[in-house]
Amino acid sequence: MKSRKLSIPYIIWMLVFTMIPIVMIGVTAFRDKNGGFSLEPFQKAFGYSNVFLKSLLIAFLSTLICLVLAYPLAYLLTKMRHSTQQTVQMILMIPMWMNFLLRIYAWVILLQKNGPLDTALSILGIHGSYIGNTAAVIVGMVYEYLPFMVLPIFTVMSKIDHNLIEAAQDLGSNSAAVFRKVIFPLSVSQYLGGTDDIMIGDVIDKIFWTDQNVGSAISLVLMIFIFVFLVLMNLFGDEEAIA
Amino acid sequence: MQKKKLGIVSKIYIALIVFFLYAPIGVLIFMSFNKGNTTVWKGFSLKWYGELFKSTRLMNALGNTLIIAALASVLATILGTAAAIGINNFRGKSRALIQNASNLPIISPDIVMGVSLMLLFSFLGVIFHFEMGFGTVLISHICFCVPFVVLNVMPRLRRMDQSIYDAALDLGCNQWQAFYKVVIHELMPGILSGMLMSFTYSVDDFVITHFTQGAKFNNLSTEIYAMLRRKIPPTINALSTLLFVAIVVIMVLINVFERRAEKKQAKLK
């Protein structure tokens, strides 16, 4: 029971499968195709700064909408009887157990031309496709992450001995957690967005198969960004932002 | 807190959110019974369900997903529980260092983890002559599962009373018996929730599998991803419907059992 040895397998595991791979990204990012030292991958990576900024904007808007929608719902949950609370929580979580790509695919079907939304709105004389734009990407994102926003806020609200400042901090860290998840999803924008809605995750995916150096450089920038973001959150909030 | 009946506005708000969450799934379920192979309704049919079971690619992918999730969650639970017990005996800086290192896969974006593991595996693959596939996907899934196990087991360990373990030793248990009967027993709820989380994350993963799957291996996510790039076969609707039904059944059962357990506890008090 007092033994520290039990953690040795995991420490070795982390070294091999977490630390070394991250170091490899760092090394690859500073190399050119011939294997020599070069800053070229970063120069190329900064060519995608527009995509990065747009990704941030989409992530920020999605998080904000999630927060605005989730807050009242979490509040209403606290007003319910315990058994109703459990049922509603279950109803909120069930869609999240569907496969991630199936959920996106469902939105593709729903929003496409001649799809259900188009058919419904055509009664009013409006026709068109509702897919392939930034709004569709944001809807997809809000859909993906709304339940993950409601439940933590609810947990925070239902604590009885909870002062206002703590509540605000928890809210901040929950938003931060969702924001972090939303920033770099792969393939949401591929299927729901238009050609100029491509997000940074998809860029890495596209580039990495042909140019590992530039792919690594962008990944490294992302990681550094996340860490700076976390450090800032920890200055203002509590440690929960990490989990 | 005061529990009152909710007003009509509140009820409408909840209904709208639930509608938002379920409308896309509802559409998939509806379409799965469509005779035609587009989104235009051509009449009721069950033919896509027949097609689904004939589709070896989807069935293989589903099998792979379940096997990987089962293996990854069990192995991650063993590795993570042992790690948590070990880490709990560290103090101060070394403890913080190990715990922060353990949280890395949770903090870093999936895509960065996927890319980094792919670099490692392709590097090792050249040296040791192997190709990415089942094994590399399994290792990668264990990587992102263990931190969740550690996070779930840790609070239980901290709350556990060391003297119960000592008492078991005094009462004639040997070290292994005491470990198994007392420590594991106390940690069980944390171990189980860690395992459940691991399983669900593994089933849902797309990004990390995408980078470590190699040329031949597919799980459900990567198979659907490949299908979405071409023309989407309506069998996917049938698959979604069946998965949804399975999930609802499992969730309702879990919920019923939990409530029974709660009632029992309330009676005991």
Give the model confidence (pLDDT) of B172-192 as tens digits. 888 888 888 888 888 998 899
Query: Are A191 and A179 a contacting pair, CB within 8 Å?
Result: no
Question: What is B54-239's CATH number, 1.10.300.10, 1.10.3720.10, 3.30.450.40, 3.30.70.20?
Answer: 1.10.3720.10
Domain coordinates in residue numbering, chain B: 54-239
Burial B76-105 (b: 16+ CB within 10 A, else e): bbbbbbbbbbbbbeeeeeeeeebbebbebb
User: pTM for the full model?
Assistant: 0.87
CA of A92 to nearest chain B CA: how many angstroms apart?
A: 7
Query: Rg of the Cα trace of chain A?
Result: 21
Nearest CA in chain B to A105: B228
Query: Are A186 and B207 a contacting pair, CB within 8 Å?
Result: yes
Rounded to whole angstroms, how far apart are CA atoms A220 and A31? 13
The pLDDT of residue B1 is 47
| A230 → closest Cβ in B21, B107, B111 | B107
Which parts of chain B sit beneath pLDDT 50? 1
3-state helix, strand, coil in chain A (%, to 5): 75, 0, 20
Check residue B132 and report its DSSP letter.
S
Residue B181 with chain A: CB contacts under 8 Å: none
The pLDDT of residue A239 is 47
Domain at A55-197: CATH architecture: Orthogonal Bundle (1.10)
The pLDDT of residue B156 is 86
Interface of B with A in 199-218 (CB under 8 A): 200, 203-204, 206-207, 210-211
Segments in B108-234 forming alpha helices (H): 110-128, 134-159, 162-170, 175-178, 185-204, 207-212, 220-229
Residue B104 with chain A: CB contacts under 8 Å: 14, 18, 22
Angle among Cα B7, B9, B11 to the nearest 5 degrees reads 70
User: Half-sphere exposure of residue A92, counting CA atoms within 13 Å on the CB side?
Assistant: 21
Residue A6 with chain B: CB contacts under 8 Å: 82-83, 85-86
Give the count of Cβ contacts less than 8 A between chain A and B: 235
Q: How far is CA A49 from CA A24, A55, A225, B204, in A?
A: 23, 10, 13, 30
Give the model confidence (pLDDT) of B233-247 as tens digits. 888 899 999 999 998
Angle among Cα B150, B156, B159 to the nearest 5 degrees reads 135
Interface of B with A in 86-125 (CB under 8 A): 86-87, 89-90, 98, 101-113, 115-120, 123
Q: Among residues B166, B148, B161, B140, which one has the least CA distance to residue B84?
A: B148
Give the model confidence (pLDDT) of A57-107 as tens digits. 888 888 889 889 988 998 898 888 888 888 898 899 888 888 888 888 889
Q: What is the ipTM of this complex?
A: 0.86
Domain coordinates in residue numbering, chain A: 55-197
Which parts of chain A sit beneath pLDDT 50? 239-243
B153 Cβ under 8 Å from any chain A Cβ: no
The pLDDT of residue B124 is 95
